[in-house]
């Protein structure tokens, strides 16, 4: 049986409720009277593990599972000072800590003191964030020697690049390409595409192979940003012909073949690319993408440890885990990608939000209002991720292709029972893109807040756009509103 990757799971709200009911609102350390919540309900204590949730941590037990480590029996609440004191494992053994926990909780069993829902929500949010961002416990650490070698290699490469920069001045074509690319940075993709096409029409015969590569590759990137995969694939594959031995060009061609489903051509280029540059991040990202049929352990092990945390690779590992239904691992690696990214954070935030949303998605719970505290906390984080992602691109050329940010934020709001906010998100999505996807969500969210006339009007508009089971489902929903 494959051994699970050690990772810190947040305690459920039910676990926290029980834990605090037997805490007396004071630190569990003997004779300590430090309060756990301040006068303004701020949590000033710490939820502590008896057996660490981190490999190599205090009293870590390799025989326990990730689920075992977040159970009530392995948790206690202390002040910061005594949490640090008990890091001395020679004095505070597992048995000693369990005895301290039992003695403290037994003194409050006769008269439990329940924390308020707001207090539990606050602690749960803190623990959830720790679970999401404490990524170093879920990834193999690179040794000090490897780090030193990596830094040395960076210095050598930087020196080589500086030497080349001194010898090769930029051509006028390079400067034009750089100027056009600056439009992408400000999300003016359509203007950039138009200018590149003009350059092809007017200057193509005069462009050397390196500049032809830059133009076609950048056109591919622009179309990819706009989610126009077929156009992007064509440009990526074409660009490789102008720089056939360049690892970057090989990487774009691999992506192009992947987008059109030509795995065989992609695999051939992966082999070639890694022979040229065994540490190419883009090629390893493609390698992960093309081997999603393997176990996660096998996928992770095929990538050198020192580049697994690179956003491009971590993103692909997250997607592989998501497709396998291993949402905790997917969330961990999605957070790795986001935390290590220097740009394009809007996309990584949205992807992480999607993974977490998939992990909690259960429409039955929304309808019956049977939503756990843990689910609410995750939904709050999802809304935050999509809000930041949308704010970054809502006034740009990417807006129309990213209305799904708003739709998924609308869905997440339903788990917070913010049905009016959910409706407003769906309406905003529809204002940017009036397709069956947006129409369907407006109809559902309008019906949920008793706007039956609007919902039926939207469904009448939607009906000609649907076929088969989708149409049957719509007619059934329409009938329920009469």
User: Hey, what are 172's tokens?
Assistant: 């006028």
Question: Binning pLDDT at 50, 70 and 90, where does residue 475 land?
Answer: low
Spatial neighbors of 142 by CB under 8 A, at least 6 apart, are 150, 305, 306
Instruction: For 226-276, write each residue's pLDDT tens digit.
Output: 889 999 999 999 999 999 999 899 999 999 999 999 999 999 999 999 999
Spatial neighbors of 439 by CB under 8 A, at least 6 apart, are 430, 458, 461, 462, 465
Residue 214 has what pLDDT?
A: 94
pLDDT of residue 92 exceeding 60: yes
Residue 146 has what pLDDT?
A: 42
- What average pLDDT does the structure give for the chain? 83
Rounded Cα distance between 220 and 226, Å, is 10
Instruction: For 137-180, write each residue's pLDDT tens digit.
Output: 343 333 333 444 444 444 434 444 444 444 334 567 888 888 88
Rounded Cα distance between 326 and 328, Å, is 6
Residue 213 has what pLDDT?
A: 95
User: 79 with 29: CB under 8 angstroms?
Assistant: yes
pLDDT of residue 478 exceeding 80: no
Instruction: For 373-394, write each residue's pLDDT tens digit.
Output: 888 899 999 999 999 999 999 9
User: Hey, what are 393's tokens?
Assistant: 């691109």
* Alpha carbon distances (Å) from 24 to 17, 39, 113, 362: 12, 15, 6, 35
pLDDT of residue 353 exceeding 80: yes
Highest mean pLDDT among 68-72, 180-184, 453-457: 68-72
Rounded Cα distance between 372 and 263, Å, is 42
Residue 404 has what pLDDT?
A: 93
Poorest-pLDDT segment among 47-56, 314-323, 452-461: 452-461
User: Hey, what are 357's tokens?
Assistant: 């949303």
* Alpha carbon distances (Å) from 381 to 376, 386, 416: 9, 9, 11
Residue 480 has what pLDDT?
A: 45
User: Hey, what are 482's tokens?
Assistant: 């009469």
Highest mean pLDDT among 9-18, 125-134, 428-437, 462-471: 428-437
Residue 469 has what pLDDT?
A: 57
pLDDT of residue 53 exceeding 90: no
Residue 445 has what pLDDT?
A: 87
Burial pattern 142-164, b for ≥16 Cβ within 10 A else e, equals beeeeeeeeeeeeeeeeeeeeee
Question: Binning pLDDT at 50, 70 and 90, where does residue 185 land?
Answer: confident
> Can you tell me the mean pLDDT for 429-454?
86
**Percentage, residues of the chain above pLDDT 90:** 44
Residue 351 has what pLDDT?
A: 93
* Alpha carbon distances (Å) from 392 to 185, 362, 399, 413: 12, 29, 10, 20
Rounded Cα distance between 211 and 281, Å, is 23
Instruction: For 443-472, write each residue's pLDDT tens digit.
Output: 888 888 888 888 888 888 877 766 565 555
Rounded Cα distance between 10 and 327, Å, is 13
Instruction: For 263-316, write each residue's pLDDT tens digit.
Output: 999 999 999 999 999 989 989 999 999 999 999 999 999 999 999 999 999 999
Poorest-pLDDT segment among 24-33, 79-88, 363-372: 363-372
Rounded Cα distance between 331 and 337, Å, is 10
Q: Which residue has better confidence, 29 or 17?
A: 29
Question: Binning pLDDT at 50, 70 and 90, where does residue 3 land?
Answer: low
Rounded Cα distance between 389 and 392, Å, is 5
Residue 403 has what pLDDT?
A: 92
User: What are the structural domains of the chain?
Assistant: 13-138 (no CATH), 172-349 (1.25.40.10), 350-481 (1.25.40.10)
């Amino acid at each position: 049986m494959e051994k699970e990757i050690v990772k810190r799971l947040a305690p459920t709200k039910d676990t926290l409720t029980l834990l605090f009911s037997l805490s007396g609102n004071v630190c569990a350390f003997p004779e300590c009277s430090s309060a756990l919540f301040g006068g303004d309900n701020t949590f000033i204590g710490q939820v502590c593990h008896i057996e660490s949730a981190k490999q190599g941590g205090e009293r870590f037990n390799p025989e326990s599972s990730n689920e075992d480590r977040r159970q009530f029996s392995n948790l206690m609440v202390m002040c910061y000072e005594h949490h640090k004191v008990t890091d001395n494992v020679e004095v505070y053994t597992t048995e000693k800590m369990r005895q301290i926990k039992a003695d403290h909780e037994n003194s409050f069993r006769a008269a439990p003191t329940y924390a308020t829902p707001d207090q539990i929500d606050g602690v749960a949010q803190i623990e959830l964030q720790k679970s999401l961002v404490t990524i170093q416990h879920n990834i193999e650490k690179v040794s000090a020697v490897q780090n030193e070698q990596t830094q040395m290699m960076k210095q050598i490469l930087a020196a080589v690049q500086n030497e080349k920069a001194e010898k090769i001045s930029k051509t006028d074509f390079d400067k034009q390409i750089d100027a056009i690319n600056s439009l992408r940075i400000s999300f003016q993709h359509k203007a950039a595409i138009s200018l590149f096409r003009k350059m092809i029409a007017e200057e193509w015969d005069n462009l050397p192979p390196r500049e032809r590569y830059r133009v076609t590759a950048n056109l591919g990137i622009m179309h990819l940003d706009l989610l126009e995969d077929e156009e992007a694939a064509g440009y990526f594959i074409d660009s490789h012909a102008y720089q056939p031995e360049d690892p970057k060009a090989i990487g774009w061609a691999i992506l192009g073949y992947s987008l059109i489903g030509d795995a065989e051509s992609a695999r051939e280029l992966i082999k070639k690319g890694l022979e040229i540059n065994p540490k190419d991040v883009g090629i390893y990202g493609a390698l992960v993408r093309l081997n999603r049929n393997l176990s996660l352990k096998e996928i992770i092990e095929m990538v050198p440890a020192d580049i697994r945390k690179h956003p491009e690779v971590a993103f692909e590992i997250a997607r592989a885990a998501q497709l396998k239904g291993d949402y905790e691992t997917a969330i961990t690696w999605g957070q790795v990608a986001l935390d290590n990214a220097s740009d394009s954070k809007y996309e990584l935030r949205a992807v992480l939000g999607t993974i977490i949303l998939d992990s909690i998605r259960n429409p039955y719970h929304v309808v019956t209002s049977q939503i756990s505290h843990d689910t609410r906390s995750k939904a709050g984080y999802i809304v935050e991720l999509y809000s930041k992602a949308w704010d970054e691109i809502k006034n740009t050329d990417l807006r129309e292709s990213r209305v799904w940010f708003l739709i998924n934020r609308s869905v997440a709001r339903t788990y917070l029972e913010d049905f009016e906010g959910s409706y407003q998100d769906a309406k905003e999505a529809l204002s940017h893109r009036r397709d069956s996807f947006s129409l369907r969500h407006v109809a559902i969210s309008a019906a949920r807040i008793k706007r039956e006339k609007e919902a039926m009007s939207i469904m009448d508009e939607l009906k000609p756009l649907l076929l088969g089971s989708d149409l049957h489902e719509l007619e059934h929903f329409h009938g329920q509103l009469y």
